[in-house]
Chain A
Amino acid sequence: MSSPRKDVDYTQLLRERKERLEKVYLNKRPDRVPFVPFPSVAWVAKFVGVATYDLCFKYDVMVDAGVKMVNVFNIDGIDSTPLFLPALDLSLMIIAFADYPDMAMNFSFLTEPMHDILRDRYSRWPGRELPLDAEPQFYGGEFMKPEEYRYLAEKPIEFLNEVVIPRIFEAIKKPNSPEAYVAWIKAGIEVQKYLEASMKIGMEASKAFPTFPMAFSVKPLDYISDHLRHPTNLMLDLYRRPDEVLRAVEVITDITIKFQHKVIPPLVDMAQKVFGTPIVMAGFPLHLNAMLPPKLYNEFYWPSLKKVLIDAINLGAIPFIFFEGDHSPHLETILELPKGKAYGMFERTDLRKVRKVIGDHIAIGGGISTTIFAFGSREKVFEEVCKLLNDVKEPGGFVFTGTGVAFPPGTKIENIWVAVEAVKKCGVYP
């Protein structure tokens, strides 16, 4: 295990990082562009020399890897913990457990041990459905029939708990069976072990990097698409039963807002009292956005999302919106959000175009092409990063994330270090 170098003033680095990130998330102009790296789980596994399966399954491996990552990346030029989460989204539970917000928070992710216990039909994992070194994948599926939209709209909590959950989790097929009782209890044990491991990594990380509390929230139409109907079926629903979809979206939006009201204010309070920061993030990784043509996006996707985003903003959180794929057709809608109150990370949208269309309306983030970042020559990476920063860093509120997604397993470490150099050289604000 590597340990921090002795000749560097880490308290000073930590202070600079915190100030830089706070400024940028508040859409201001820091001293230079911060570099916030997002490695994939498979990349971290390869980097620390373990199978992805072990990293997903063994908590001590997870902690060792996390500590190593924190220490290796604790250099000037990297501004945030290189966060890797061997967990997938289970925001299904945010709505299903809406009346129990602490449970909704603690159970809104799915790990590989939980997958083994609950036997969900959502996800595929290394060493189970996938090879030992594969990245965990969320597939979703069809767990609600088209004619059941009205149940979702009329009695969402009952419908999700009594009908949908037993369909998704093989182990909960019969909720009053020994198998189901045990599965929940065992899943709870794994939740706690996972949280303890995260906490250990977090403790190590907090010595070097600032901590901003974050809660994942719900994107109403994505919720139906990812967790209940599957995108392919949802697209058909938009044509065949648009009114029913909209009614269900409305109900989910209301529950999401209630959830946010219970969850965000305590986080804002904790951010101030425990971490001494005004920054609280609300996570919104979008999925359907790039699949929908503007007409459908504007009718079915954006209004509910906008409502939820503005609610989160009003509660004091900064929505961290991940725009999957190419969001170009919908960029203008971002201008409908309150100015300077959100952060958008773009996967494949041309950042120059983003800047052109939305200017400095919200803080934005992203990187260079994944292929170049992962496999290009050092010179090429340096050149591309500098070009990008020169084009988009002004007038501030820009986060460099390497590439637009979690970097893939083959990504060369020297390319990450050269990107660091490029950020330090070309990301400085005059």
Chain B
Amino acid sequence: MWCLSMSVESEKLRKERAKRLEIAIRGGRPDRVPYWSFVSYFAARYSGITYHEFDYDYEKNLQALIKVAQDFDFDALGTLGGGVGIIFPPVFVEEHFDLMPQLFLFFGTVHDILMDKYTKWAGRELGVNTPSQIAYIDMPYMKEDEYDEFAKDPVEFMSKKLIPRVFRSLSDPASPRAYGALIKLGIEIAKINQYTAKLMNETIKLGYPQILLMPIFIGAPLDFIADVLRGHTYTMIDLYRRPEKVMKAIESVIDLNKKIIKKGKELWDRIPPEVKSLFDIQIPIQFIPLHLNEMIPPKFFKEFYWEPFKIIIDELVKTGTIVWIFYEGNFTPFLEYILELPKGKTISYFEKSDLRKAREVLGTHTVIMGGISAAHFIHGTPEKVFEEVCKLLNDVKEPGGFIYSGTGISIPNESKPENVKASIEAVKKCSVYP
């Protein structure tokens, strides 16, 4: 009987949380502000495992996340597996598109197999308790005189040149090392899929709503050039020295992304109803983290960064997708630009931007998402956290369309658990809409 009442309780809780979150995502005014958290190594520290174990051991990772899900009362729990993402270049646009959502990989096991130069991992190149990170070893992966070649046929370029350069295991594509690495990658993907299914089952049991995201990964075109091909420094130099080449490459990335969006929506539409019904929130949501937004010199921002990005947003919005954009760093000086995006179709998640200012400038044009400074979670006291969260919520929760994320980077790895708990209490107390 206890089990039965437990599951009824958790289902009720899940529906309540899902409703709250969905109303906020659509820009509305739920009963109170939803708390949507993203948890990474915080879970490792909280459950007493190393960062390395969190990145490499699916079962330990799972148990750590379940413990957090159990002990903290968030409205939604976002997780990405291990520490840092490895993107396998999107060469699968024409055929086997269904593989794409499975190729955004967040575990060190994948790094060991592919030996990518994009990342460094806890317990490998780094200490066992150092967060895995983007490394860009031997950048650039595309030479300065290869822009034209890339622009002409990005898929061909990525297949023949980029992949062998970035993934040490694939440096000779017709070798047993490469064949074996790809097969192993497949084997690992199957294991990761099992992990994901298990995590979903467990969090459903604990009353966490499940959100079905768009099955693609996509970004701002200039970010793609910087993150995947040229590196940030070289991209900046290129903007001065060969802007027309950069622009041609951007156009190519836009075309590629248009195809990805089209195929992604088709894939979304083909998800069988019995699978979709497992998810509480079935709005196609596309997450896009912006990287260069804050670093790029203002004279290039509009033409090279923002306008191409807007084309991607428009493409996504056309398919009925809500675009959830992470503005890295401090985007406060550029806030007005967001008014150019379609109204009511985006969630703007700010890392260090001033949220009060954002509300003032943006009003209800976009859903706003964010939190207090990460320093409060790491170094502060529960009282101070409570106070800061309440102040923030009082200032920005009205007139609705606000999602609280903890801090600008959600739950920092080194957060004190009591501070995280205090933030949850604060949300419950100070975010109720009258």
List residues of A whose CB falls within 8 A of some B CB.
Answer: 96-100, 103, 106-107, 157, 161-162, 165-166, 172, 175-182, 184-193, 196
Kindly report which residue of chain A lies nearest to residue B185, judged by CB atoms: A185
Kindly report which residue of chain A lies nearest to residue B190, judged by CB atoms: A192
B191 at the interface (CB under 8 A from A): yes
The interface residues of chain A lying within 8 Å CB-to-CB of B94 are 178
B380 at the interface (CB under 8 A from A): no
Closest Cβ of chain B to A97, distance in Å, is 5
Contact B182 A181 (CB under 8 A): yes
Stretch at the interface among B18-26, B71-79, B157-165: B157-165
Contact A185 B189 (CB under 8 A): yes
Complex: how many Å from CA A106 to CA B188?
A: 13
Contact A162 B174 (CB under 8 A): yes
Q: Is the interface of A mostly helix, strand, loop or mixed?
A: helix
B173 at the interface (CB under 8 A from A): yes
The interface residues of chain B lying within 8 Å CB-to-CB of A177 are 159
The interface residues of chain B lying within 8 Å CB-to-CB of A157 are 176
Complex: how many Å from CA A182 to CA B102?
A: 11
The interface residues of chain B lying within 8 Å CB-to-CB of A181 are 91-92, 159, 163, 170, 173, 182
- Other A-B pairs beyond A176-B159, A176-B160, 17, CB < 8 Å: A96-B176, A97-B176, A98-B176, A100-B176, A100-B180, A103-B176, A103-B184, A165-B179, A166-B174, A179-B95, A182-B96, A184-B185, A185-B185, A187-B186, A191-B183, A191-B186, A196-B190
Contact B92 A99 (CB under 8 A): no
Contact B164 A176 (CB under 8 A): yes
Complex: how many Å from CA A187 to CA B92?
A: 15
Kindly report which residue of chain B lies nearest to residue A95, judged by CB atoms: B176
Complex: how many Å from CA A185 to CA B113?
A: 12
The interface residues of chain B lying within 8 Å CB-to-CB of A185 are 99, 103, 182-183, 185-186, 189
Tell whether A186 pairs with B174 under 8 Å between CB atoms, given A165-B179, A176-B163, A192-B190.
Answer: no
How many pairs, one residue from A and one from B, have CB atoms within 8 Å of each other in the complex? Answer: 108
Closest Cβ of chain A to B142, distance in Å, is 16
The range of chain B's interface size is 20 to 34
The interface residues of chain B lying within 8 Å CB-to-CB of A107 are 180, 183
Contact A176 B173 (CB under 8 A): yes
Tell whether A182 pairs with B187 under 8 Å between CB atoms, given A97-B176, A103-B180, A176-B164.
Answer: no
Closest Cβ of chain A to B146, distance in Å, is 16
Q: Could you say which of A97, A98, A180, A188 contacts B189, with CB atoms under 8 Å apart? A: A188
- Chain A CB count within 10 A is highest, among B170, B187, B189, B191, for B187
Contact B187 A186 (CB under 8 A): no
Closest 9 CB pairs of A and B: A188-B186, A184-B182, A192-B190, A176-B173, A175-B174, A188-B183, A178-B91, A103-B180, A185-B186
Instruction: Give 21 A-B contacts (CB < 8 Å), ordered by A residue.
Output: A99-B177, A106-B183, A106-B187, A107-B180, A162-B175, A175-B173, A175-B174, A176-B160, A178-B95, A181-B159, A181-B170, A181-B182, A184-B182, A185-B99, A186-B96, A188-B184, A188-B189, A189-B189, A190-B186, A192-B188, A192-B190
Contact B182 A188 (CB under 8 A): yes
Tell whether A161 pairs with B179 under 8 Å between CB atoms, given A176-B173, A188-B189.
Answer: yes
Per-position 1/0 for B192-228, Cβ under 8 A of A = 0110000000000000000000000000000000000
Complex: how many Å from CA A165 to CA B186?
A: 18
